[in-house]
Amino acid sequence: MFALLAATLLSQAVDVSVTTTPYKKGDMPSVNILILEPIAGFRLMLTRNDGKKLDVKGGGKPGQKRVIDLVQTEGKFTWKGELSLNYKDGTTGAMPLEFDTAIWGALSIDTRKEDVDLPNRKWSFKTSRPIVKAKLKVLMDTGKYAFDDDIAFGENTPGQTLSVTWPDAKGRVMIMWLNVYDAAQQYTGKEFTSWYVDIPHDEVQFDSGKADIRESESAKLDKTYRDIQDALRKYAEIPDVNIRLYIAGHTDTVAAKDYNRTLSLSRARSIGQYFKKKGLMIPVYAEGFGEEALKVQTPDDTDEQANRRADYFISIDQPTVSNASFAPKWQKLCVGLPVRAPLRSSGRRTVRLFGGHIRGRCALTGRRTRGTGPGSPCPR
């Protein structure tokens, strides 16, 4: 942080240093004059590259330090001038000065998923202040690191597009971590993953308006459960990752959109609960997309069995659904909670299609809870 301009004057009367880039919020760059021997006084005269002038006179006893703030706005500036001394014997001396100062604010990194070019193994980003290095870790789904090292950076400016690359390696990129460091070794970072495994499966068919699993469909889920376990064994020994199962429920176009979203979430929960009861140990998350991602395009109020389905993904991060009109809110499932059906309006009557509720104990928190569906979210 401190750039030494000169060790001492010829007379050994003062030491001069400059704080060029302060990192504590509110601090300013400064010229720091440590008086070593008796002097009659000093005068600091500087001109900034935008024309601003500084002219300060002062003095002090040996051992005292004078700190002269160089007040500036955020950005980089160049100062030129001299420090002159008056000695006790009436002689004078001068030291020429030239240095840069900068204030950048807190270090931050700006990067989005589209800035990661996996085919060309390149990650682009921008930072709020100059950086001196980056630390990149690239973990493949083979369990091995394609890259895990520091990358030095030369001169750069805030907002400049920078990038890091990594070598080719076997497998798919599972997760990457990028930390960037400034000259004071302050750092910030980002994590990236687009890795997921889509579990092929036979679709579980649901009765219209219902979310309970037909006994005839159990064999399909049993096979899917084995396939999920086989996939998990493949990645079980990979460090630094937390794999989860995501289940996306879908419906046909019978009934209203809001109702179908609730129903599809209940179906996803039913499937997740089935896997949990079978012994699935990883976290399970569910979301309902209703009729917004139809497998078979149909008009409204069409009873299409193929659209009453679910998708299964094992992933590190939350999957996205490109044609959904809302941001998914994936809900983590608890264990052993019964279903509570959505309500369907039927004229003046409200018909509960099935279910009820039972107080139970959340397997994750140990707290008593009230079920609102298979694998209801744990109480906060």
pLDDT at 59 over 70: yes
The CA-CA-CA angle for residues 338, 341, 347, to 5°, reads 160
Q: Which of 103, 118, 144 is the last residue of a domain?
A: 103
Is the predicted pLDDT of residue 341 greater than 90, yes or no? no
Q: Taking residues 183-208, what's their average pLDDT? A: 89
Residues 85 and 115 in one domain: no
pLDDT, position 336: 54
Query: Pick the residue with more confidence: 95 or 335?
Result: 95
Residue 376 lies in a domain: no
Alpha carbon distances (Å) from 143 to 169, 175, 339: 11, 11, 38
Mean pLDDT of 353-358: 28
| CA 127 to centroid of chain Cα atoms | 15
What is the Cβ-side half-sphere exposure of residue 84, based on CA atoms within 13 angstroms?
11
Residues 6+ apart with CB under 8 A from 202: 220, 223, 224
Is residue 11 included in any domain, yes or no? yes
Q: Given 192, 226, 250, which residue is the final one in a domain? A: 192
User: Do 186 and 300 belong together in one domain?
Assistant: no
Say whether both 214 and 336 belong to one domain.
Answer: yes
Asked if residue 295 and residue 220 are part of one domain, the reply reads yes
What is the residue range of 76's domain? 2-103
- Would residue 363 count as lying in a domain? yes
CB 366 within 8 A of CB 324: no
pLDDT tens sequence across 116-150: 999 999 999 999 989 999 999 999 999 999 999 99
Residue 361: pLDDT band with limits 50, 70, 90: very low
Looking at 55-64, 94-103, 192-201, 234-243, which range is the least confident one?
234-243
Q: Which residue has the tokens 């807190």?
A: 106
Q: Are residues 173 and 289 in the same domain?
A: no
d(CA 143, CA 137): 12
Distance CA 313, CA 261 (A): 19
User: Per the structure block, which two tokens stand in for 300?
Assistant: 């409204």
Give every CB contact of residue 248 below 8 A, 6+ residues apart in sequence: 268, 286, 287, 288, 289, 293, 310, 311, 313, 319, 321
Within-domain flag for 377: no
Q: How far apart (Å, rounded) are the C-alpha atoms in residues 278 and 280?
A: 6
Same domain as 210, residue 167: no
3-state secondary structure of 112: coil
Q: Return the H-helix or E-strand segment holding 218.
A: helix 218-235
CATH number (domain holding residue 116): 2.60.40.10
Are 93 and 142 in a shared domain?
A: no
Look at residue 267 and give its three-state secondary structure: helix
Sequence-distant (≥ 6) Cβ neighbours of residue 366 within 8 angstroms: none
- Containing 99, the helix (H) or strand (E) segment is strand 92-103
- Whether the per-residue pLDDT at 366 is higher than 60: the answer is no
Quick one: DSSP state of residue 119? T
71 plus 127 within the same structural domain: no
pLDDT tens-digit series, residues 256-293? 999 999 999 999 999 999 999 999 999 999 999 999 88
Please check whether residues 205 and 64 belong to one and the same domain. no
The reply to whether 6 falls in a domain is yes
Task: With cut-offs at 50, 70 and 90, classify the pLDDT of residue 251.
Answer: confident
DSSP 333: B
Same domain, 352 and 304: yes
Please, which contacts does 72-76 make with residues 24 or more away whose CB atoms are closer than 8 Å?
72/28, 72/29, 72/48, 72/101, 72/103, 73/103, 74/103, 74/104, 74/105, 75/102, 75/103, 76/100, 76/101, 76/102, 76/157
Residues of the chain above pLDDT 90, percent: 59
Element holding 45 (H helix, E strand): strand 41-48
Residues 268, 215 within the same domain: yes
C-alpha span between 302 and 251 (Å, rounded): 10
Return d(Cα 33, Cα 83) in angstroms, integer: 10
pLDDT given at position 369? 42
pLDDT band at 106 (very low <50, low <70, confident <90, very high): confident
pLDDT at 96: 93
The answer to whether position 379 is within a domain reads no
- The count of structural domains within the chain is 3
User: CATH no. for residue 92?
Assistant: 2.60.40.1940
Is 130 inside a domain boundary? yes
* Structure confidence at residue 11 (pLDDT): 53
187 and 117 within one domain:
yes
Kindly tell me if the per-residue pLDDT of 165 is higher than 60. Answer: yes
Three-state DSSP at 216 gives: helix
